[in-house]
Amino acid sequence: MPAPIEFYFDFSSPYGYLAAQEVEGVGRRQGREVVWKPFLLGAVFKTTGSAPLLDIPMKGDYAKRDMDRSARRIGVPFQLPTPFPFSAVAPARAFYWLADQNTMAAKDLAMALFHAAFGQGHDISAPDAVAKTAAMHGHDPAAVRAAHDDPAVKQRLKDEVQAAQDKGVFGSPFLLVDGEPFWGHDRLGDAEAWAKTGGW
Amino acid sequence: MPAPIEFYFDFSSPYGYLAAQEVEGVGRRQGREVVWKPFLLGAVFKTTGSAPLLDIPMKGDYAKRDMDRSARRIGVPFQLPTPFPFSAVAPARAFYWLADQNTMAAKDLAMALFHAAFGQGHDISAPDAVAKTAAMHGHDPAAVRAAHDDPAVKQRLKDEVQAAQDKGVFGSPFLLVDGEPFWGHDRLGDAEAWAKTGGW
């Protein structure tokens, strides 16, 4: 069994949302498990000196257009939620809390949260909003809400953010295929080719 | 006859070099002329607040790896010249001076300059280096060298840099297909699909 593909993303990343639509297909076609690893870009931006993409002159306008065009190309709805950018702490904590019980359920919740944010434009930054989305997918909203304030869950997310940074992850989406890094939704094709061929 | 594809690039851009290998193929397959438009990223970087890619922590190391990997994927040699980054003023002036006489010859010179820089690692920033490469392609080195100091040629490049910025070009490579912007070597596929289908 070949090693899993690691899929790093920030819940507030539009290109992370787009990659999430396609990454399981990559895994399926290449016979690889995909391990989802939400993290927080904020800490990395301090290291790389990056600003939020949409705030950058010229590049920001282009990015909005490119996100919309890329979503149309793969046939998924897309809008920027208000406010944007937003904090992805609450969705990421809920993800890891659930992933420790049921990996598939956590991926489903991640897709639901992404859809609420970038498909429907909702604010998913508040713990209550995350609990509400989770409730619609059969999870106990009180348990989700409590997990948000659980010191163990808080620490879990901190550890994952640090681990991502230690592996050189600096953007979203970001894939590691047998240790080879691929940054960006537009590198999914390269990542899949690497998984298929073992590299070139 | 559909409108030409506009291909903007900086001669000091590794991804510009990679795109230059493939962009004429895009034009050929889609029945479009490709108009090459070298410009200077430096002025744009002042607007977007960007730093040279390779100087950025984490992202710089990734970029070096990705450039190398992308070059291997399309089967062209790749190395970073010394010094890097370098000023692309001299190659860009030579290009426009020649393009006003013979478009095809100017593209050939551009490919030769790119190959000298990123295929062989030579320094192409000096006017004499540009004249030497041009001489190997049948051009009078003294005329190339004189063009570098010609006020009309200097102004021509300034106008092209301004025109690129006015069109929202902020990176290299950058394609305009019927006015639709595509930034990055990894967007060539999207740009070709747009040229083929008229957009989506």
Kindly report, residue by residue over A161-173, the tens digit of the pLDDT: 999 999 999 999 9
Contact B168 A59 (CB under 8 A): no
B13 counts as catalytic: yes
pLDDT band at A57 (very low <50, low <70, confident <90, very high): confident
Contact A58 B184 (CB under 8 A): no
The pLDDT value given to residue B96: 98
Q: Which chain B residues have a beta carbon less than 8 Å from that of A46?
A: none
The secondary structure of residue B116, as a DSSP letter, is I
Contact B56 A65 (CB under 8 A): no
pLDDT band at B184 (very low <50, low <70, confident <90, very high): very high
Nearest C-alpha neighbor of A176 from the set A33, A21, A54 = A33
Contact A181 B65 (CB under 8 A): yes
A173 Cβ under 8 Å from any chain B Cβ? no
**CA separation for the pair A161, A167 (Å, rounded):** 10
- How many of the other CB atoms lie within 10 Å of CB of B159? 11
pLDDT band at B143 (very low <50, low <70, confident <90, very high): very high
Nearest-by-CA chain A residue for B169: A58
Q: Between B59 and A17, whose confidence is greater?
A: A17
Partner-chain residue, chosen from B48, B58, B65, that has the shortest CB–CB distance to A59: B48
Answer for the pair B78, B67: CB distance below 8 angstroms, yes or no.
yes
A184 Cβ under 8 Å from any chain B Cβ? yes
H/E segment holding residue B8: strand B5-9
The pLDDT value given to residue A46: 78
ipTM: 0.89
The pLDDT value given to residue B144: 98
Average pLDDT over residues B110-133: 98
Using the predicted structure, report yes or no on whether residue B99 has a pLDDT greater than 90: yes
The pLDDT value given to residue A110: 98
3-class SS of residue A184: coil
Answer for the pair B91, B38: CB distance below 8 angstroms, yes or no.
yes
pLDDT digits (tens, 9 = 90+) for A110-121: 999 999 999 999
The pLDDT value given to residue B139: 97
Average pLDDT over residues B18-47: 94
Average pLDDT over residues A56-78: 94
**CA separation for the pair B71, B74 (Å, rounded):** 5
Using the predicted structure, report yes or no on whether residue A65 has a pLDDT greater than 80: yes
Answer for the pair A147, A159: CB distance below 8 angstroms, yes or no.
no
pLDDT band at B46 (very low <50, low <70, confident <90, very high): confident
Using the predicted structure, report yes or no on whether residue A88 has a pLDDT greater than 90: yes
Using the predicted structure, report yes or no on whether residue B68 has a pLDDT greater than 90: yes
User: Mean pLDDT across chain B, nearest whole number?
Assistant: 95
Average pLDDT over residues B104-108: 98
The pLDDT value given to residue B33: 98
- Residue found by looking up tokens 């190395």 in the block: B79
The pLDDT value given to residue A64: 95
Q: Chain A: give the shortest CA distance to residue B192, in Å.
A: 13
Token pair for A43:
């800490």
Contact A181 B62 (CB under 8 A): yes
Using the predicted structure, report yes or no on whether residue B52 has a pLDDT greater than 80: no
Partner-chain residue, chosen from A51, A58, A187, that has the shortest CB–CB distance to B186: A187
Using the predicted structure, report yes or no on whether residue B29 has a pLDDT greater than 90: yes
Q: Which chain B residues have a beta carbon less than 8 Å from that of A170?
A: 58-59, 62
Nearest C-alpha neighbor of A30 from the set A186, A175, A197, A173 = A197
Using the predicted structure, report yes or no on whether residue B161 has a pLDDT greater than 80: yes
Using the predicted structure, report yes or no on whether residue A50 has a pLDDT greater than 80: no
| A184-A187-A188 Cα angle (round to 5) | 105
Contact B47 A65 (CB under 8 A): no
Sorted by where each begins, the domain ranges of chain B are 5-197
Q: Chain A: give the shortest CA distance to residue B22, in Å.
A: 17
Task: Say which CATH superfamily domain B5-197 falls into.
Answer: Glutaredoxin (3.40.30.10)
